[in-house]
């Protein structure tokens, strides 16, 4: 699942409003719940996801008859973190809880999360630190200390519509080109130009960190250096890459999915064969299959100048334990089994909406041989990266950077000016 703009989150939640409300506010962390073996945990999610979570809880309690698990779902992602922060402040927070990747740094810095490294290394753990793909920890890890782990992941692949490509006179298959090492930026941009000439949208992207930084990384640029300093504005390769990217948005070859009107959103555009490419995760399986059997769609990694694979963004959310829980043993047992290979397989099987974040569960992505190049999800996850800690640690910074980027995508600013503004903003907010 993703943590992004409100409109994008609503799109991912697939237009079905979640009727659940916060189930009681007594909590079970430091402030509420006297039963030492009752673990209360909280998350957001679609009705389908929450149903699967409850099924996991039931299976967990069958294995652990001495532990009771209570799920506190919150209907809206946009409300979730503010409620959680209020609960943490009032000492009524759940024992275990989800945190979005755009919020995790804030929670780590607030020192409200239990350090997990020693617990993960213990005999009781089913989730050793090295079991997770290192690029996915993001701001949840500080030095050697882990404060949360990714519950699953979603690499932003490029979904493509074969019917739209054919209508534009494109005969080459992107995934085949990628397998041959020929999926170059020039080839991708040429396909987009043909789509635009045919009156179709070339590509649709959501305006959030994984879009900007994936394009820079895939084109050989550097957004943040190893020290965490934003350097894209002084890196000629990054500036040139964003110049090309911005111009394709400005001439409407690329479209910012967030800005599409209600009733004619990106999902609708894609399933009606009006766009060639759509940057999204595994959850798109449900979207394309809702309009048929999905056989006319496939996925490919982001293009690169030389046709070789490059790291790109992988969205995650995290599972953490309340630092002040009075039920450490029971909470960790639930936490580690939820995140384990077995736990992720249980939650993601049957056309699940995400990719495992842990080793040993990859078969769940390949189980139905759909899409045809489903291995791409795994390959991109293996080398991908979460949002940079510098950005993720500052509340609201990721959204503020995206607001600046929108000016570039709308043709209201050029690449150099946009990246300079981003550098100033990041430096200013990071210094506070």
Residue 90: DSSP 8-state: T
Q: Mean pLDDT of all residues in the chain?
A: 91
Helix ranges restricted to H, 208-295: 209-218, 236-250, 266-271, 284-289
In this predicted model, which residue has the larger pLDDT, 79 or 95? Answer: 95
> For residue 375, what pLDDT is reported?
98
- The 8 Å CB, 24+ separation contacts for 288-293 are 288/159, 289/351
Confidence of residue 278 (pLDDT cuts 50, 70, 90): very high
Which residue's structure tokens are 């939640």?
Answer: 13
Mean pLDDT (whole number) for 253-274: 95
Confidence of residue 45 (pLDDT cuts 50, 70, 90): confident
> Residue 6 pLDDT more than 90?
no
Which 3 state secondary structure label does DSSP give 137? coil
Looking at the chain, the whole-number percentage of residues with pLDDT higher than 70 is 92
Quick: pLDDT tens for 325-367: 999 999 999 999 999 999 999 999 886 689 999 999 999 999 8
Which H/E stretch holds residue 39?
strand 38-43
CB-based burial label for 262 (10 Å; 0-12, 13-18, 19+): exposed
> For residue 11, what pLDDT is reported?
43
Query: How would you classify the pairing of strands 275-280 and 201-205?
Result: parallel
Quick: pLDDT tens for 129-156: 999 999 999 999 999 999 999 999 999 9
Mean pLDDT (whole number) for 387-406: 93
> Residue 3 pLDDT more than 60?
no
CB atoms within 10 A of CB 95: 29
In this predicted model, which residue has the larger pLDDT, 107 or 28? Answer: 107
Contact at 8 Å (CB) between 4 and 206?
yes
Please name which of 327, 234, 269 lies closest in space to residue 38, comparing C-alpha atoms. 327
> For residue 31, what pLDDT is reported?
39
> For residue 258, what pLDDT is reported?
95
Question: What's the N-to-C CA distance of the chain in angstroms?
Answer: 30
Which residue's structure tokens are 């980027």?
Answer: 405
Confidence of residue 16 (pLDDT cuts 50, 70, 90): very low
> For residue 350, what pLDDT is reported?
80
How many residues make up the chain in this entry? 432
> For residue 18, what pLDDT is reported?
26
How many angstroms from the chain centroid is the CA of residue 381? Answer: 11
Least confident segment among 33-37, 38-42, 69-73: 33-37
Instruction: Round to whole Å and give the CA distance between 407 and 257.
Output: 14
CB atoms within 10 A of CB 134: 11
Mean pLDDT (whole number) for 108-113: 94
Mean pLDDT (whole number) for 278-303: 94
Looking at the chain, the whole-number percentage of residues with pLDDT higher than 90 is 83
Domains of the chain are: 6-154+316-383 (3.40.190.10), 157-312+394-430 (3.40.190.10)
73 phi and psi angles, rounded to 5 deg: -80, 145
Mean pLDDT (whole number) for 34-57: 89
Mean pLDDT (whole number) for 49-57: 93
CB-based burial label for 307 (10 Å; 0-12, 13-18, 19+): middle
> Residue 269 pLDDT more than 90?
yes
Instruction: Round to whole Å and give the CA distance between 156 and 164.
Output: 20
> Residue 14 pLDDT more than 50?
no
DSSP 302-327: PPBTTS-----BEEEEEEEEBTT-S-
Mean pLDDT (whole number) for 303-309: 98
Mean pLDDT (whole number) for 12-19: 32
């Amino acid at each position: 699942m993703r943590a992004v703009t409100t409109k994008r989150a609503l799109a991912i939640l697939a237009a079905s409003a979640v009727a659940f409300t916060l189930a009681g506010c007594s909590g079970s962390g430091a402030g509420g719940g006297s039963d030492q073996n009752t673990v209360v945990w909280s998350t957001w999610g679609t009705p389908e996801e929450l149903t699967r979570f409850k099924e996991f809880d039931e299976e967990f309690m069958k294995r652990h008859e001495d532990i009771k698990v209570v799920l506190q779902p919150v209907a809206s992602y946009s409300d979730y973190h503010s409620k959680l922060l209020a609960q943490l402040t009032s000492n009524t927070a759940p024992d275990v809880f989800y945190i979005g990747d755009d919020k995790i740094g804030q929670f780590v810095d607030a020192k409200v999360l239990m350090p997990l490294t020693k617990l993960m290394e213990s005999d009781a753990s089913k989730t050793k630190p090295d079991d997770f793909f290192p690029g996915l920890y993001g701001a949840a890890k500080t030095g050697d200390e882990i404060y949360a782990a990714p519950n699953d992941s979603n690499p932003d692949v490029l979904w493509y519509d074969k019917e739209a490509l054919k209508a534009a006179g494109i005969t080459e298959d992107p995934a085949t080109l990628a397998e041959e090492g020929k999926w170059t930026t020039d080839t991708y941009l040429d396909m987009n130009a043909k789509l635009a000439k045919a009156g179709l949208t070339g590509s649709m992207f959501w305006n959030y960190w994984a879009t900007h930084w994936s394009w820079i990384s895939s084109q050989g640029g550097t957004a943040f250096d190893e020290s965490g300093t934003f350097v894209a504005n002084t890196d000629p390769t990054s500036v040139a890459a964003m110049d090309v990217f911005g111009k394709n948005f400005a001439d409407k070859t690329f479209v910012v999915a967030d800005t599409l009107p209600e009733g004619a959103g990106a999902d609708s555009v894609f399933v009606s064969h009006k766009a060639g490419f759509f940057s999204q995760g595994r959850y798109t399986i449900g979207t394309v299959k809702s309009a048929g059997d999905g056989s006319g769609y496939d996925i490919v990694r982001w293009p690169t100048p030389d046709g070789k694979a490059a790291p790109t963004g992988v969205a995650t959310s995290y599972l953490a334990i309340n630092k002040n829980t009075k039920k450490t043993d029971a909470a960790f047992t639930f936490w580690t089994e939820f995140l384990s290979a077995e736990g992720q397989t249980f939650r993601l099987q049957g056309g699940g909406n995400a990719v495992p974040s842990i080793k040993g569960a990859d078969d769940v992505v390949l189980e139905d041989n759909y899409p045809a190049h489903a291995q791409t999800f795994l390959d991109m996850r293996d080398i991908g990266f979460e949002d940079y800690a510098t950005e993720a640690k500052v509340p609201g910074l990721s959204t503020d950077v995206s607001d600046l980027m929108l000016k570039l995508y709308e043709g209201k600013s050029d690449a150099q000016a946009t990246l300079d503004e981003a550098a100033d903003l990041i430096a200013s907010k990071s210094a506070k």
